[in-house]
């Protein structure tokens, strides 16, 4: 039996906006096993991105806790979370979030350089070659198409070979041809490197290929045996 | 509705709105302070001219008055037109009875009725005229302190022994003469002869002061007396009489005006920069308004209203700040200002401030406002870019704006030539700084930097919306001016005060009469350097008469004053010939005019050249001479120098006195002064060491004032820096989130932001230092003719200090970005 790499226990998240309390997550619990490909599905506003943010340690839950690789990360400070984000997890965003002042190569190298990896450049070049962007290594984000930017973002997310990769609607801003390429790339990484993949998506094609799917509705997990979205 | 919309926009962009308002205020502060102070000083000098000058009509002479003028004055008094009093003024040493202490003092011998106008306030509270009787003196407190005397003791002045009966607390005329060294001593004119201090050729200022029965007739009476005046005798009404205080304040306030205008220009760049940042945030709103059918008139009108509303707030703040600053200047110059000058704000201050401020606002905001017209509705669909508001530069309008600004500067400085030169100099300075910033920022972007944090910091300098170049240009320009002022002041201090060379004379003796010369030399042991002095006036150059009225208004030295001519055949040790064949042009054909050698400084004042004919009057005797050489001084010391040097044969027979320069150990100077004055009462000693200290004190005071005004221009750079950080807050936030998501910890984020500001600060400081060093070197060598020292340690400390301030300011402004959780940012921007 596979051991869990990520556990979310009774996660709640609420905000106060304009004097009104908004409950985004309500007692969400889940477990992700090592090497698993989990899809979090749900309509817009159901709390997918918030759940992903909390599970990856980018945000704090109002209550509940997150255990990553056996360690409770809920109470960790930003500086305690930094090495975890750098080595154990990777994140791919819908809006890419590349650093605009760095070119493609530098963007990919960045996490490895932060970890003082002397092979950062070589690894980044190899990844870019793998995604077919060697010729675009010197280009800045604004000079790349959406699909190219997302490929760079994926390379950046995996350069330190994280055990866990979070992806938030990675194909949400892409056309179908680019989406397909990105999906293949993510699944390839998941299969070949054994990376655990936790993805929030609207894509039925992606959901169909997941090991498991959980569905959110109004911030709560709803039972579903059906993988269709 | 419109006002509410304006206020909403201001609230929504409050950071940039505050920076813009502060920039407007900053542009006004020093201008309002200087203009208000100038108006007050000029007003008091004009209104209270009689009290400041001592009479409705003032008759001056460097020597005793001619019989013709005396007779005319007696007639004026006899006709009941005026009452008159006399005030003879000179410097001499006062000695303590029974001791060796001596003090160089400013002595005023007055006749009954003095002062006709104004007051001499005594510590006893008694009227001055009642107290000052023959046989007594009234002195300044400083004299008592330094000679260790008290009221009731006796003071020795020349051969006279006079009792101290009271202490001067305040003198309404004193500010007019505040550059005279030494404490005041008042004595009766009747005691003067007994002291033996005033002799023929001695350096005394003779003054008649007249109080007219009808003060409105001052010009008529002055003209009547002037008609009988001889050479060197000047008659003027209180209103037209030039005074040292007016000249001093004209010069000081003119210089402060230059700095104030400079601050205005830099703060103007800040206004432009912050408004551009504010409008960048408005691009989407403007695009939506256009899409909804709003025309240019509506949108421009709305934003012009916003600018004028913020500008008005800034102007009001600036006027208030200016008046507070004026109060601080008032305190700093206490003792130098006319006593009737009171701290107040006039309607004219407000009106002028308002006019100046709104003109500056309109000029500096024109460019960003013009960019609004170029925003298309399609901007809704695009991500905002920094370039959207640029390149909207209607060149003709810009040129017109520059002309308008130049006109404002010219009016402010009250001098067309200086105003235009100043504008040109500022434009050149900004262009040089822009070029340097462009070179360095461009070079840095191309560097292959191995440190991740440093590379990221350098790359961040060119993030969209970053005003890196503007920050560097304004900071560097302001710092360059401040550094230059510091360097020039330090070099002036070094040249004239601190580095007074060990071998240079430190004791001067003035007014040695011809028949005292040999005795004096023997008395001081033969070690004195003696210079003959012949008092003369320059009447014309190449038969072109000296325009005395214009010369009086000149800022520096003028050709209208009485000069000291001398004769000798050789150059002095600190002189070199810069033009001409020998001092007197070698062998000269008989019948030619006698030769005269000119010092380069007077050549500049009079625009003279070799071959010019100079027409002098030596106590009424005409002397024409031909300029045969030009000399320059190789060292700048408090050492005697003469504008005009003649061959001995030309001046030997002229009425003359002698001037002696001696080097004595400082501890023995007082003793020698005392001995010389006891033996030769008419000879005035000047202890240069003491004078240098006094000069140093005054310089320190003025330097503090100038530095303070110049420091305000740095604030403009600081505001632009904060504005730039606010304008790029979103980009910085995004960067910080990226760093954190990818595993960067707080020290790393701090390091990147800190390094970014460090690069900015070092670049600004470095460029400023380079320009300041070059500029100060040129100023010292070419204009002031003093040697230049670069003060590298002090310069580096200054750069270090400013760097620390900029880095701290940058980090402080970025703090809210650094502490933000990545999740919160992602949630807020997920849409």
Distance in angstroms between the alpha carbons of the first and the last residue of chain B: 30
| Best residue of A22, A78, A91, A164 to probe chain B, by most B CBs closer than 10 Å | A78
Residue A66 banded pLDDT, cuts 50, 70, 90 = very high
Cα–Cα separations (whole angstroms), residue B481 to A69, B426, B443, B691, B773: 60, 10, 25, 29, 10
Residue A229 predicted with pLDDT over 60: no
Give yes or no for a contact between A164 and A89, defined as CB atoms under 8 angstroms apart.
Answer: yes
Helix B244-291 vs helix B395-413: angle between axes, to the nearest 10 degrees?
160
Q: B775 CA to chain A: closest CA distance, Å? A: 37
Query: CB–CB of B741 and A102 under 8 A?
Result: no
| A3 secondary structure, DSSP code | P
Strand (E) positions, B128-204?
Answer: 136-140, 154-157, 160-171, 184-188
Q: What SS3 class is residue B100?
A: coil
Query: CB–CB of A101 and B463 under 8 A?
Result: yes
Distance in angstroms between the alpha carbons of the first and the last residue of chain A: 28
Query: CB–CB of B743 and A83 under 8 A?
Result: yes
| A143 secondary structure, DSSP code | G
The verdict on whether omega for the bond into residue B115 sits within 30 degrees of 0, i.e. cis, is: yes
Query: CB–CB of A79 and B747 under 8 A?
Result: yes
The number of beta carbons lying within 10 Å of the beta carbon of residue A55 is 26
Query: What is the 3 state secondary structure string of B734-784?
Result: HHHHHHHHCCCCHHHHHHHHHHHHHHHHHHHHHHHHHHHHHHHHHHHHHHH
Candidates A60, A97, A114; nearest CB to B452: A114
Candidates B738, B745, B830; nearest CB to A78: B745
Distance, CA of A110 to CA of B456 (rounded, Å): 10
State the average pLDDT over residues A31-55: 90
The number of beta carbons lying within 10 Å of the beta carbon of residue B586 is 11
Distance, CA of B496 to CA of B784 (rounded, Å): 12
pLDDT by residue (tens digit) across B666-708?
A: 677 777 877 887 788 778 777 776 666 666 777 777 777 777 8
Instruction: State whether residue A62 sits within 8 Å of chain B by CB.
Output: no
- pLDDT score of A163: 92
Which chain A residue's Cα is nearest to B458?
A101
State residue B330 phi and psi, 5-degree precision.
-55, -45
Which chain A residue's Cα is nearest to B445?
A101
ipTM score assigned to the predicted complex: 0.73
Q: B724 CA to chain A: closest CA distance, Å? A: 17
Q: Residue ranges of the alpha helices (H) in B686-745?
A: 688-727, 729-741
Q: B442 CA to chain A: closest CA distance, Å? A: 14
Q: B818 CA to chain A: closest CA distance, Å? A: 11
pLDDT by residue (tens digit) across B187-198?
A: 998 888 888 777
- pLDDT score of A93: 85
Strand (E) positions, B76-128?
Answer: 82-96, 102-110, 120-122
- pLDDT score of B200: 53
Residues 138 through 197 of chain A touching chain B, CB cutoff 8 Å: 156, 160
Q: B748 CA to chain A: closest CA distance, Å? A: 9
In which residue are the tokens 């998506």 written?
A: A201
Which chain A residue's Cα is nearest to B462?
A101
Give yes or no for a contact between B164 and B136, defined as CB atoms under 8 angstroms apart.
Answer: yes
- pLDDT score of A196: 93
Candidates A53, A85, A101; nearest CB to B460: A101
Query: CB–CB of B734 and A83 under 8 A?
Result: no
Distance, CA of B229 to CA of B363 (rounded, Å): 54
Name every chain A residue with its beta carbon within 8 A of the beta carbon of B453: none
- pLDDT score of A8: 94
Q: A113 CA to chain B: closest CA distance, Å? A: 7
Q: Which of A172, A14, A51 is nearest to B831 (CA)?
A: A172
Name every chain A residue with its beta carbon within 8 A of the beta carbon of B741: 58, 85, 91, 97
Let me know the angle formed at the C-alpha of B455 by B451 and B457, rounded to the nearest 5 degrees: 120
- pLDDT score of B715: 79
Query: CB–CB of B830 and A156 under 8 A?
Result: no
Strand (E) positions, B479-590?
Answer: 507-513, 529-541, 544-545, 562-567, 575-579
Q: B814 CA to chain A: closest CA distance, Å? A: 17
The segment with the largest mean pLDDT, out of A34-43, A179-188, B397-406, B562-571, is A34-43
Give yes or no for a contact between B37 and B188, defined as CB atoms under 8 angstroms apart.
Answer: no
Candidates A86, A95, A99; nearest CB to B743: A86
* Residues β-bridged to residue B615: B540, B624
Residue A10 banded pLDDT, cuts 50, 70, 90 = very high
Residue A135 predicted with pLDDT over 90: yes
Candidates B737, B742, B822; nearest CB to A114: B742
The residues of chain B scoring below 70 in pLDDT are 1-2, 99-101, 173-181, 199-203, 241-246, 335-336, 338-345, 378-395, 463-466, 495-503, 548-557, 635-639, 666, 689-695, 727-729, 785, 827-831
Q: Which of B579, B667, B690, B677 is nearest to B628 (CA)?
A: B579
Candidates A50, A54, A111; nearest CB to B743: A111
Residues in chain B: 831
Name every chain B residue with its beta carbon within 8 A of the beta carbon of A46: none
Query: CB–CB of A86 and B742 under 8 A?
Result: yes
| B593 secondary structure, DSSP code | P
Query: What is the 3 state secondary structure string of B266-333?
Result: HHHHHHHHHHHHHHHHHHHHHHHHHHCCCCHHHHHHHHHHHHHHHHHHHHHHHHHHHHHHHHHHHHHC
């Amino acid at each position: 039996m596979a051991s869990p790499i990520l556990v979310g226990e009774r996660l709640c998240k609420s905000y106060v906006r304009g004097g009104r309390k908004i409950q985004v997550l309500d007692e969400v619990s889940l477990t992700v096993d090592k090497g698993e490909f989990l899809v979090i599905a749900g309509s817009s506003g159901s709390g997918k991105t918030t759940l992903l943010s909390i599970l990856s340690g980018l945000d704090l839950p109002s209550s509940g806790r997150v255990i990553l690789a056996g360690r409770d990360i809920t109470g960790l400070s930003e500086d305690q979370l930094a090495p975890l984000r750098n080595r154990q997890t990777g994140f791919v965003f819908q809006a890419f979030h590349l650093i605009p002042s760095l070119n493609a190569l530098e963007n990919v190298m960045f996490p490895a350089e932060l970890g003082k990896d002397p092979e950062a450049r070589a690894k980044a070049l190899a990844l870019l070659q793998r995604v077919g962007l060697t010729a675009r290594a010197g280009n800045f984000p604004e000079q790349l198409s959406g699909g190219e930017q997302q490929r760079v973002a994926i390379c950046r997310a995996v350069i330190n070979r994280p055990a866990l990769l979070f992806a938030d609607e990675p194909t949400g801003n892409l056309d179908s041809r680019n989406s397909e390429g990105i999906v293949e790339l993510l699944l390839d990484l998941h299969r070949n490197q054994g990376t655990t993949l936790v993805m929030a998506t609207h894509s039925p094609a992606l959901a169909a290929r997941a090991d498991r799917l959980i569905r959110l509705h109004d911030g709560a997990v709803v039972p579903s045996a059906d993988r269709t979205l | 509705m419109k006002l509410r919309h304006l206020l909403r926009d201001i609230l929504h962009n409050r950071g940039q709105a505050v920076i813009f308002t502060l920039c407007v205020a900053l542009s006004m502060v020093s201008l309002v302070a200087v203009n208000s102070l100038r108006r007050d000083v000029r007003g008091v000098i004009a209104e209270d001219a009689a009290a400041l000058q001592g009479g409705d009509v003032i008759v001056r002479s460097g020597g005793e008055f001619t019989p013709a003028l005396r007779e005319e004055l007696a007639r004026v008094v006899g006709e009941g037109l005026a009452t008159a009093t006399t005030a003879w003024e000179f410097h001499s040493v006062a000695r303590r009875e029974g001791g060796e202490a001596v003090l160089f003092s400013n002595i005023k011998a007055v006749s009954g009725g003095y002062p006709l106008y104004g007051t001499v306030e005594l510590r006893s509270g008694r009227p001055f005229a009642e107290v000052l009787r023959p046989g007594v003196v009234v002195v300044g407190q400083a004299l008592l302190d330094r000679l260790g005397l008290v009221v009731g003791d006796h003071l020795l002045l020349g051969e006279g022994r006079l009792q101290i009966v009271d202490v001067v607390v305040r003198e309404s005329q004193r500010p007019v003469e505040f550059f005279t060294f030494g404490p005041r001593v008042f004595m009766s004119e009747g005691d003067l002869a007994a002291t033996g201090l005033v002799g023929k050729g001695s350096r005394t200022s003779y003054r008649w002061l007249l109080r007219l029965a009808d003060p409105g007739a001052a010009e008529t009476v002055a003209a009547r007396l002037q008609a009988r005046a001889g050479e060197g005798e000047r008659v003027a009404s209180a209103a037209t009489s030039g005074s040292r205080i007016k000249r001093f304040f004209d010069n000081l306030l003119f210089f402060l005006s230059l700095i104030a205008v400079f601050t205005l220009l830099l703060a103007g760049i800040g206004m432009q920069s912050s408004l551009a940042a504010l409008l960048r945030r408005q691009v989407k709103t403007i695009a939506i308004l256009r899409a909804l059918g709003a025309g240019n008139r509506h949108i421009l009108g709305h934003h012009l209203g916003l600018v004028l509303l913020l500008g008005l707030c800034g102007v009001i703040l600036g006027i208030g700040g200016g008046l507070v600053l004026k109060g601080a200047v008032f305190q700093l110059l206490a003792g130098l200002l006319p006593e009737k000058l009171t701290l107040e704000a006039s309607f004219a201050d407000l009106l002028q401030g308002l006019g100046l401020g709104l003109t500056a606002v309109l000029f500096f905001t024109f460019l960003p406002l013009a960019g609004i017209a170029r925003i298309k509705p399609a901007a809704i669909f695009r991500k905002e870019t920094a370039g959207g508001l640029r390149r909207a530069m209607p060149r003709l309008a810009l040129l017109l704006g520059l002309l308008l600004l130049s006109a404002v500067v010219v009016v402010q400085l009250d001098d067309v030539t200086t105003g235009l030169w100043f504008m040109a100099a500022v434009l050149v300075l900004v262009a040089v700084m822009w070029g340097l910033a462009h070179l360095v920022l461009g070079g840095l972007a191309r560097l292959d930097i191995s440190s991740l944090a440093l590379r990221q910091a350098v790359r961040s300098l060119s993030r969209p919306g970053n005003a890196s170049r503007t920050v560097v240009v304004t900071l560097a320009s302001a710092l360059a001016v401040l550094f230059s002022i510091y360097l020039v002041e330090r070099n002036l201090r070094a040249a004239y005060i601190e580095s007074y060379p060990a071998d240079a004379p430190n004791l001067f003796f003035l007014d040695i009469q011809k028949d005292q010369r040999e005795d004096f030399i023997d008395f001081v042991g033969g070690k004195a350097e003696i210079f003959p002095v012949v008092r003369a006036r320059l009447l014309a150059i190449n038969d072109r008469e000296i325009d005395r009225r214009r010369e009086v208004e000149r800022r520096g030295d003028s050709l209208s004053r009485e000069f000291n001519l001398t004769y000798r055949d050789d150059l002095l040790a600190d002189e070199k010939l810069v033009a001409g064949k020998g001092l007197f042009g070698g062998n000269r054909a008989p019948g030619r005019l006698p030769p005269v050698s000119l010092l380069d400084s007077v050549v500049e004042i009079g625009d003279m050249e070799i071959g010019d004919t100079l027409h002098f009057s030596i106590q009424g005797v005409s002397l024409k001479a031909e300029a045969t050489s030009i000399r320059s001084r190789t060292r700048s010391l408090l050492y005697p120098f003469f504008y005009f040097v003649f061959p001995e044969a030309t001046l030997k027979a002229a009425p003359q006195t002698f001037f002696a320069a001696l080097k004595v150990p400082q501890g023995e100077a007082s003793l020698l002064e005392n001995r010389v004055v006891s033996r030769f009462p008419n000879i005035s000693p000047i202890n240069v060491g003491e004078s240098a200290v006094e000069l140093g004190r005054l310089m320190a005071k003025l330097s503090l004032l100038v530095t303070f005004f110049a420091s305000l221009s740095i604030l403009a750079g600081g505001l632009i820096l904060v504005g730039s950080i606010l304008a790029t807050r979103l980009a910085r936030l995004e960067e910080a989130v990226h760093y954190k998501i990818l595993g960067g910890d707080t020290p790393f984020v701090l390091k990147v932001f800190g390094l970014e500001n460090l690069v900015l600060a070092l670049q600004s400081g470095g460029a400023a230092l380079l320009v300041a060093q070059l500029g100060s070197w040129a100023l010292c060598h070419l204009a002031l003719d003093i040697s230049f020292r670069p003060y590298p340690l002090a310069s580096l400390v200054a750069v270090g200090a400013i760097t620390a301030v900029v880095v701290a300011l940058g980090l402080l402004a970025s703090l809210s970005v650094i502490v933000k959780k990545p999740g919160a940012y992602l949630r807020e921007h997920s849409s």
